[in-house]
Amino acid sequence: MSEDSSTSTHFGYKTVDADKKADMVAGVFHSVATRYDIMNDVLSFGIHRLWKRFTIECAGARPGMKVLDLAGGTGDLTAKFSHIVGETGEVVLADINDSMLKVGRSKLRDKGIVSNVNYVQANAESLPFPDNTFDIITIAFGLRNVTNKDAALASMQRVLKPGGKLLVLEFSKPKHAIMTKAYDLYSFKMLPMIGKMIADDADSYEYLAESIRMHPDQETLKGMMEQAGLEQVDYINMTDGIVALHRGYKF
Annotation: binding site: 74, 95, 123-124
Strand (E) positions, 89-174?
Answer: 90-95, 117-121, 134-140, 160-171
Please enumerate, by residue number, every residue annotated as part of a binding site for S-adenosyl-L-methionine: 74, 95, 123-124
What phi and psi values does residue 14 have, to the nearest 5 degrees? Answer: -85, 145
State how far the alpha carbon of 70 is from the alpha carbons of 85, 135, 167, 199, 219, in Å: 17, 13, 10, 25, 22
Q: How far apart are CA 112 and CA 115, in angstroms?
A: 9
Do residues 211 and 220 lie in contact, with contact meaning Cβ atoms separated by under 8 Å?
no
Q: What size, in residues, is the chain? A: 251
